[in-house]
Structure 1
């Protein structure tokens, strides 16, 4: 019984050893660059080792033992030369694996370089064939399915085929919500631009709000719906452009004293506010229109309370990006400085940015603006009134010149000559001035000949 157990144990051990040897051999052959060459080396090694072992078994003692030792040494040198590259690679493998990844199998992934080259060369059908070949191997690949839909819609004008690809992609389980929302957004773009169908585009965007409610994707979809809802006139104008008669230009434009009448009329802020209010009643999530309405309330109507109410609605909207929230708070601070002239309120608004987004670039920007907020307020103060000049004596320069002429006349007059009256002196000064103007060189530059 004991012998039987020992025999069974030896058989099991031999089978395990043989199995491990076969697994190792198959693994080496799969990783070898030249499997046939590796098999030849194994065969030569086995034959050489077996031959040396046979000689050692049969040639025992005397010269036979010496011959076995010499033959074994020669065979060892030959085998070392044969296996030296493999031994060197085995020793260097831990170091080279740091750079080339070693024997780790690369993760299989699809390649679309051939399809992209076919598309750029004007062969969209061949590109579609190459993409479908890759999708057969990787049926859930996002890039391949979106590329296929893009080629069908934009290159082959097959919008229905692109929609089928997008629908199949959405029905596949395991995709990220952001990828599904991006696919539906692309389909909405094609329906609006290529299909000229804003209603279908809005319906596709509504699916995003249905699939992912209360998410940033839903907020973005609502924003797009608000802008696409009134785009039918724009599409009609693009599809059937009308001829606009060109009016003749203004003649002698450069000679006009004032060109204010030629400027186009400014849009009426009151009418714009009415349009924005009606639009927001239908699409309250339209952040762009609400921001424009707040600007009109602040700068046209000078109603800081109404502008602040619109901006607060924007700030309190869920799933808005932090950069937009910080932008609206900065805009509110602008209104509080320019319209309300309230430094304390503007500082509190900027502090909200620091509290809402601590340790971010937005907080650092708000903190930097706090240091210059008082300068902004001074820049908004009305300019001081100019100091009015006093009333001064008229013709001051002429009177100074008249006194100089009077002194010259008094010095040139003889002692017995009566002094000139003021009117005579003024006449003399006028005569001298007219003579100076006539000559052009002054009263003392005349020559004796009168030239």
Structure 2
């Protein structure tokens, strides 16, 4: 302390001011770096309050330095130490010590324990979800809006907002505007676009009865990223929409018959006899299968990479058309599709093996197909089951051949009448 007071007392105010000015430059650099680091780490920090703390600490530090220099030695310095420097040091400790200690120690602690502020980076939408569950949708939207002000562009918050607008308020146009905000972020567009348009297609199908709109949404994914897995998923969904609509149209004939019947009966005031329910016209099974095969071929032609349509076509070829070779081709086409998973390939190869066994294929042919499963992943569960199937393949083929062989009754010439 004696050395400090001697140095302060020996220095003039101009010299102290010059030194303090140089120190101020370093102080400002540290303050700017610390403020930027805090703001980048989390949105919970307020820029104005951070600046105010650093400016306040700077003023307290300046008061301490210049009051000490102005007072000099003796009783005046003692009064300054007690009345200015000691309280100022306490204030400085409160204002900037947490920032400086974090600045110096954080590289070490972050490497050992992870960032302390990581849990602040993700906004908590619990109150908004709770309000939504209670049916307070406007309040839920207000909670989301407050969090989005602090976390602009947050995908989870914007998706929650759009979900409330579409699912709870029935306002699809407002949800689309929210989706437009998500799609405006170009850096994450490749991830956000498939998420947005898949969700939009869900709503258009399930909530707003707009299959054409759902098709347009899914086509948007295919156009934006034609060679991606998102595009493949969109293609599968498009094919499923067509299959669903076709099934609904087949049911509509019966529905319309019943509706006409109900309308006609409602016009009659008096019934002389019990009403007879209309009977559904029975169609030949072969004609139905031919019709189903033709429709399935049309869907496959329109959506060549549709898994559900290819599998249905393979079943029709095998069980109706009795064309096992064409049935196998459908699964071979699926196996050649980019992006097919190991699990899917195992299923399709087992289907091919089933077709070969049922159609009288040779043991070597079926074994070669099962070996393809093992080659996919020798350590996988599919390979284990394929190896077990190879061991019992001869028994499986004999059982299939025995089942397919028609029963021949022995004819006897003698009359086996009653004795």
Q: Same fold (TM over 0.5)?
A: yes
Q: State the match for 2:155 in structure 1.
A: 142
- 1:315 and 2:335 are equivalent in the alignment: yes
- 1:347 and 2:367 are equivalent in the alignment: yes
2:295 to 278, 284, 290: 278
Cα displacement (A) at 1:11: 8.2
- 1:208 and 2:221 are equivalent in the alignment: yes
- 1:196 and 2:196 are equivalent in the alignment: no
Task: Evaluate the alpha carbon distance shift between residue 387 and residue 276 of structure 1 in structure 2; reply closer, same or farther with a 3 A threshold.
Answer: closer
Cα displacement (A) at 1:211: 1.0
Q: Encode CA deviations 1:129-181: one digit per residue, 9 max, x unaligned.
A: 22223233333222112111111111001122222222332343122534321
Structure 1 segment 26-45 matched on structure 2, within 5 A: none
Structure 1 segment 295-444 matched on structure 2, within 5 A: 295-357=315-377, 360-382=380-402
Query: Does the Cα contact within 8 Å between 1:202 and 1:225 map onto a contact in 2?
Result: yes
Cα displacement (A) at 1:115: 1.0
Cα displacement (A) at 1:13: 6.3
Cα displacement (A) at 1:119: 0.4
Q: State the match for 1:221 in structure 2.
A: 234
Q: State the match for 1:120 in structure 2.
A: 133
Q: State the match for 1:5 in structure 2.
A: none
Determine which structure has greater relative contact order: mean sequence separation of CA pairs < 8 Å that are 6+ residues apart, divided by chain length: 2
SS of residue in 2 equivalent to 1:229: helix
Q: State the match for 1:109 in structure 2.
A: 122
Instruction: Say which structure is richer in helix.
Output: 2
Distance in 2 separating the partners of 1:145 and 1:321? 32
Q: State the match for 2:183 in structure 1.
A: 170
Query: Does the Cα contact within 8 Å between 1:273 and 1:296 map onto a contact in 2?
Result: no
Query: Does the Cα contact within 8 Å between 2:127 and 2:143 map onto a contact in 1?
Result: yes
Q: State the match for 2:10 in structure 1.
A: none
SS of residue in 2 equivalent to 1:110: coil
SS of residue in 1 equivalent to 2:298: helix
- 1:132 and 2:120 are equivalent in the alignment: no
Distance in 2 separating the partners of 1:361 and 1:343? 22
Q: State the match for 1:413 in structure 2.
A: none
Distance in 1 separating the partners of 2:115 and 2:181? 39
Distance in 2 separating the partners of 1:159 and 1:198? 14
Distance in 1 separating the partners of 2:118 and 2:339? 42
Distance in 2 separating the partners of 1:267 and 1:146? 50
Distance in 2 separating the partners of 1:268 and 1:374? 35
- 1:183 and 2:196 are equivalent in the alignment: yes
What TM-score, normalized to structure 2? 0.61
Query: Does the Cα contact within 8 Å between 1:276 and 1:290 map onto a contact in 2?
Result: no
Q: Which structure has the greater CA radius of gyration?
A: 1
Task: Evaluate the alpha carbon distance shift between residue 377 and residue 16 of structure 1 in structure 2; reply closer, same or farther with a 3 A threshold.
Answer: farther
SS of residue in 2 equivalent to 1:139: coil
Q: State the match for 1:423 in structure 2.
A: none
Query: Does the Cα contact within 8 Å between 1:188 and 1:202 map onto a contact in 2?
Result: yes
Q: Encode CA deviations 1:361-399: one digit per residue, 9 max, x unaligned.
A: 5445444443343343244241799999xxxxxxxxxxx
Cα displacement (A) at 1:308: 1.4
Task: Evaluate the alpha carbon distance shift between residue 178 and residue 276 of structure 1 in structure 2; reply closer, same or farther with a 3 A threshold.
Answer: farther
Query: Does the Cα contact within 8 Å between 1:152 and 1:158 map onto a contact in 2?
Result: yes
Query: Does the Cα contact within 8 Å between 2:219 and 2:234 map onto a contact in 1?
Result: yes
Which 5+ residue runs of structure 2 have no aligned equivalent? Answer: 1-13, 36-48, 78-88, 263-281, 411-419
Cα displacement (A) at 1:19: 4.9
Distance in 1 separating the partners of 2:295 and 2:118? 62
Cα displacement (A) at 1:335: 1.1
Deviates more, 1:307-316 or 1:183-192: 307-316
Query: Does the Cα contact within 8 Å between 2:367 and 2:390 map onto a contact in 1?
Result: yes
Q: State the match for 1:288 in structure 2.
A: 308
Cα displacement (A) at 1:291: 1.3
Task: Evaluate the alpha carbon distance shift between residue 176 and residue 371 of structure 1 in structure 2; reply closer, same or farther with a 3 A threshold.
Answer: farther
SS of residue in 1 equivalent to 2:216: helix
